[in-house]
Chain A
Amino acid sequence: MHEMALCEGLLQVLEEQASEQAYRRVRAVWLEVGALAGVDVRALRFAFDVVCRGTLAEGAALHIDQRPAPAWCMQCARQITVNTLLDPCPDCGGGQVQVLGGDQMRITELEVD
């Protein structure tokens, strides 16, 4: 739902970095999006194209690296990964799972010129 606003935030970062990192065009953007970031990747791609129109990132490729969320299974006493807040432990099937992250939405790299 809020992917448009996220892309506007993303574009702001790209525009700010343009002077600092001395580039004029953004060719590609790499994002890391956690499984619990509440982001719909299809909507994000759509919004990215719309928001970047007429800007320094028009037509830029968007690479999205979706990462599962790290979590701790109390029963197995070891770290696991989950894809939703309600996932059971993939090994023991137990529900005593403490989610440790997975809500990141980070720009990791840009290809620019």
Chain B
Amino acid sequence: MCSVCGCGEGEVRIGSDSSHALPHEHVHPHDHGPEHAHAPPVRAPGPMPSDAERHHYGTGPARAHAPGMAQARMVQIEQDILSKNDAYAAANRRWLAERGILALNLVSGPGAGKTTLLARTLRELSEAYPMAVIEGDQETSNDAERIRAAGARALQINTGKGCHLDAHMIGHALESLDPDPGAVLFIENVGNLVCPAAFDLGEAYRVVILSVTEGEDKPVKYPDIFRRADLLLVHKIDLLPHLTFDLERCLEFTRQVNPGLQALCVSSTSGEGLEDWYRWLKLTREARLVGHPALGTPSAARDAG
């Protein structure tokens, strides 16, 4: 396995949702989304389109190959490296939208308190609307068990050596977990402030969690993940009196990379700020349901809960 990143396929395990009695099989008609291979047709060998910035214009096949050898040719495909992942993400997004499910991708470094925050949220909102959790970790199903202990349905994905969740894993997890229509689905990504930034899972919003026991300059040290987030939760603020963490400075750093990022300061120990988080969840869920054919009215949204 690669010593640079350790990512690899073949070691991903999608755990069972223990509330489901049925074993998960891969025979159900899960649509993996639009097959997207609509690359432009092969161009005949010859001059490439004019693009003044291309610095490899002169490396065409005619000069690279001796006569008599198989004639190489150039193929222009213009395809994103992550197009496969993005197609799965689009399929997930559609699947979730049809069911009126609000999916949130929770990202943070290890130890920021995602699971603790989630467990308290699930306990305190258990009466409000259905919720489900997909847990991503390299190993163990400890987090899924903590979530189940809080009374919610949870499915564990173990990524093995992988450093992030991808949309394909989430597609399979959705089949097994099958969250209720109108639910809020929390996807707790692998604790990592780098890699999860690049992988769209099909979520509606990305929530980044930063605890005050980390450096206040995390937003500028790991700008990608903060730049692509929709909400920042500054966590463990009950510890602020004991730390040198400068909250204002942290928020200023955040604004440098993502000027519009909304920030909420919360503590799942003292409960401070949680009302705001719950209100954000409630309003965001309701906003997503507006216009939904079955759940689009306030009473239907309530009934789903």
Report A61-74 CB contacts with B as 1/0, cut-off 8 Å. 00101010000000
Is B7 in contact with A21, judged by CB distance below 8 angstroms?
Answer: no
Is B257 in contact with A10, judged by CB distance below 8 angstroms?
Answer: no
Is B220 in contact with A86, judged by CB distance below 8 angstroms?
Answer: yes
Check if A80 is an interface residue, CB within 8 A of chain B: no
Is B194 in contact with A2, judged by CB distance below 8 angstroms?
Answer: yes
Is A65 in contact with B56, judged by CB distance below 8 angstroms?
Answer: yes
How many angstroms from the CA of A108 to the CA of B43 in the assembled complex? 13
- Which one of B80, B220, B257 lies within 8 Å of A106 (CB-CB)? B80
Is B2 in contact with A47, judged by CB distance below 8 angstroms?
Answer: yes
B90-98, B138-146, B162-170, B286-294 - the one binding chain A: B162-170
Is A2 in contact with B198, judged by CB distance below 8 angstroms?
Answer: yes
Is B56 in contact with A1, judged by CB distance below 8 angstroms?
Answer: no
How many angstroms from the CA of A2 to the CA of B159 in the assembled complex? 13
A-B interface contact total, Cβ < 8 Å = 141
Is A105 in contact with B56, judged by CB distance below 8 angstroms?
Answer: no
Q: Which of B9, B55, B77 has the most CB of A within 10 A?
A: B77
**Closest A residue, CB atoms, query B164:** A2
Is B2 in contact with A4, judged by CB distance below 8 angstroms?
Answer: yes
Q: Inside 8 A of B2's CB, which chain A residues have their CB? A: 4, 46-47, 50
Interface size class of B (residues with CB under 8 A): 35 or more
Q: Inside 8 A of B7's CB, which chain A residues have their CB? A: 1-5, 8
Is B79 in contact with A4, judged by CB distance below 8 angstroms?
Answer: no
State the Cβ distance, A27 to closest chain B Cβ, in Å.
Answer: 6
Check if B27 is an interface residue, CB within 8 A of chain A: no
Is A63 in contact with B81, judged by CB distance below 8 angstroms?
Answer: no
Is B223 in contact with A85, judged by CB distance below 8 angstroms?
Answer: yes
Check if A52 is an interface residue, CB within 8 A of chain B: no
State the Cβ distance, B51 to closest chain A Cβ, in Å.
Answer: 9
Is A17 in contact with B39, judged by CB distance below 8 angstroms?
Answer: yes
State the Cβ distance, B81 to closest chain A Cβ, in Å.
Answer: 4
B65-73, B122-130, B243-251, B270-278 - the one binding chain A: B65-73
Report A95-113 CB contacts with B as 1/0, cut-off 8 Å. 1000000001111111111
How many angstroms from the CA of A106 to the CA of B79 in the assembled complex? 5
Q: Inside 8 A of B199's CB, which chain A residues have their CB? A: 2, 5
Q: Inside 8 A of A110's CB, which chain B residues have their CB? A: 74-77
State the Cβ distance, A41 to closest chain B Cβ, in Å.
Answer: 12
How many angstroms from the CA of A80 to the CA of B8 in the assembled complex? 38
Check if A56 is an interface residue, CB within 8 A of chain B: no
Is A47 in contact with B227, judged by CB distance below 8 angstroms?
Answer: no
Check if B5 is an interface residue, CB within 8 A of chain A: yes
Q: Inside 8 A of B70's CB, which chain A residues have their CB? A: 113
- Which one of A6, A22, A106, A113 lies within 8 Å of B78 (CB-CB)? A106
Apart from A1-B195, A2-B5, A4-B6, 16 more pairs, CB < 8 Å? A4-B4, A4-B8, A5-B5, A5-B7, A5-B164, A9-B82, A9-B84, A10-B81, A13-B77, A17-B75, A23-B75, A43-B4, A47-B5, A86-B256, A111-B72, A113-B70
11 contacts between A and B (CB under 8 A): A2-B194, A6-B82, A8-B7, A8-B8, A9-B81, A21-B77, A22-B42, A37-B198, A38-B197, A47-B4, A108-B78
